[in-house]
Amino acid sequence: MLFFTRAGIASALIVCLLGCTKQDDKTNKTKGVLPPTPVTIAMAEARDIPIQVRQIGSVEPVATIAVKAQISGELKQVFFKEGQDVKKGEELFEIDPRPYQQALEQAQAALQKDIALVRQAEANLARDGAQAANAKQQAQRYAGLAAEGVISKDQNESYQTASQVQIESVRADEAALASAKASVVSDNSAIETAKLNLSYCYIRSPIDGRAGSLLIQAGNLIKANDTTALVNINQLQPVYVTFSAPEQLLPEIRRYNAAHALSVTGTGVADGAKRGVSATGQLTFIDNGVDSTTGTIKLKATFPNNDHALWPGQFINVVMTLRTLNHATVVPSEAIQSGQKGQFAFVVKPDQTVETRQVTVGQTIDNQIVVESGISPGETVVTDGQLRLFPGAHIRIAPAAKADAGA
């Protein structure tokens, strides 16, 4: 059995009360004060910001030529390799020229024959013309004698008939000469056609470009203007880059492009991985209508592509600069938050507390966003850790990794 004295009980009660008092004081202090929130910050800066259109564009050749045969025959030779660069006028194919060479020789022989007929007709015309003149003089002389009664009527009519026959012979000779000359013209046309067909046996490149896959091999019989091309050639210098822009920017694009050709930069970053492709061109085409399904306008820029860095069918990032916004206020894009009243940012005050500031933002360029109103250059904004912030909250500057952990 335990016995407690009054003094012992009193001492125990005092110790217990003191302990409870200290615990209450600690709880009250903890309940009334929050620790500073770890955040990362950045300073608003004044910069010259280009106003740009940023889209994904596709590379298109200025010209794509499907090379086809204009005559039928056996494909004898191919003078290039698949994927080879070819020059305008360079021979690509040869079709068996022998049938067309023979046709040319036949046309030339027919021409010589008809030229001989022309000469013969001219000689006949000259002979019959002389005879007709003589017959006419005799007819006139004997007509006078007949009128005087020196010769009989039958003799006179015989001379008149002979003169008329000679005149008709001259007309026949003139017709024969005209026919022979027409045959010569026809023969010349046939020769030109034969020469043209013979030239079609040697198929040459119509443009400078790069040849694609060979679609028909040597030895095959090909048809004139067949549906299948022999090869497709793409012009790679220059090339087009086609992209779209929101219809809201159309007035600005037209206005600035009218003053000077807008510069367009293309980089081969279709999937976010840099591939070392970079080129500069100029806007050369604005479509004549807005696509009502997407609300965009089709644009086309021309790139010199002297180094063949851009390839038809390739997707590239396109940046078209409209103008430069001088001394614009910019902050990191992660500093801008969205709320019920619109977009805002947490601005750091000198006493290490924050306040919310409603902002109006513009274009985003390289993770920097233009602030048109609400923040001035030199002010400090919170870029990470905003989830635990409220107006008047105390902050503690921390590295980005710690701020992420605290949030």
Q: Looking at residue 38, what is its pLDDT?
A: 92
C-alpha atoms less than 13 angstroms from C-alpha of 55 in its C-beta half-sphere = 20
Q: Are 376 and 26 in contact (CB under 8 A)?
A: no
Q: Are 310 and 279 in contact (CB under 8 A)?
A: yes
- Going by C-alpha positions, the residue among 234, 253, 235, 251 that lies closest to residue 243 is 253
Q: Looking at residue 407, what is its pLDDT?
A: 45
| CA dist., res. 190 & res. 32, Å (int) | 109
The DSSP secondary structure of 90-122, one letter per residue, reads -EEEEE--HHHHHHHHHHHHHHHHHHHHHHHHH
The amino acid present at 54, given as its one-letter code, is R
| CA dist., res. 366 & res. 331, Å (int) | 11
Q: Are 390 and 32 in contact (CB under 8 A)?
A: no
| CA dist., res. 284 & res. 301, Å (int) | 5
Kindly give, in sequence order, each residue whose CB lies less than 8 Å from that of residue 19, ignoring residues fewer than 6 positions away.
none
Q: Looking at residue 85, what is its pLDDT?
A: 94
Q: Looking at residue 312, what is its pLDDT?
A: 93
**Ramachandran angles phi, psi of 271, nearest 5°:** -120, 20
Q: Looking at residue 276, what is its pLDDT?
A: 60
| CA dist., res. 368 & res. 256, Å (int) | 24
| CA dist., res. 372 & res. 327, Å (int) | 11
Kindly give, in sequence order, each residue whose CB lies less than 8 Å from that of residue 216, ignoring residues fewer than 6 positions away.
75, 222, 228, 230
| CA dist., res. 407 & res. 391, Å (int) | 17
| CA dist., res. 181 & res. 176, Å (int) | 9
- Going by C-alpha positions, the residue among 404, 53, 61 that lies closest to residue 207 is 61
SS3 for 36? Answer: coil
Cis ω for the linkage preceding 312 (within 30 of 0): no
SS3 for 179? Answer: helix
| CA dist., res. 18 & res. 384, Å (int) | 44
57 burial level (CB within 10 Å; 0-12, 13-18, 19+): buried
Q: Looking at residue 33, what is its pLDDT?
A: 62
279 burial level (CB within 10 Å; 0-12, 13-18, 19+): buried
| CA dist., res. 89 & res. 94, Å (int) | 13
Q: Are 365 and 52 in contact (CB under 8 A)?
A: yes
C-alpha atoms less than 13 angstroms from C-alpha of 341 in its C-beta half-sphere = 7
Q: Give residue-wise pLDDT tens across range 357-407.
A: 999 998 887 788 999 999 999 999 999 988 989 999 999 988 765 444 444
Q: Residue with structure tokens 């694009």?
A: 253
Q: Looking at residue 3, what is its pLDDT?
A: 40
pTM score, whole prediction:
0.64
Q: Looking at residue 67, what is its pLDDT?
A: 95
Q: Are 89 and 246 in contact (CB under 8 A)?
A: no
310 burial level (CB within 10 Å; 0-12, 13-18, 19+): buried
Q: Which residues of the chain have pLDDT under 50?
A: 1-31, 270-274, 402-407
Kindly give, in sequence order, each residue whose CB lies less than 8 Å from that of residue 325, ignoring residues fewer than 6 positions away.
48, 49, 50, 51, 362, 370
The amino acid present at 51, given as its one-letter code, is I
Give the dihedral of Cα atoms 386, 390, 393, 399; nearest 10 deg.
0
Strand locations in 172-295 (E): 202-204, 209-211, 221-222, 231-234, 239-246, 263-267, 278-291
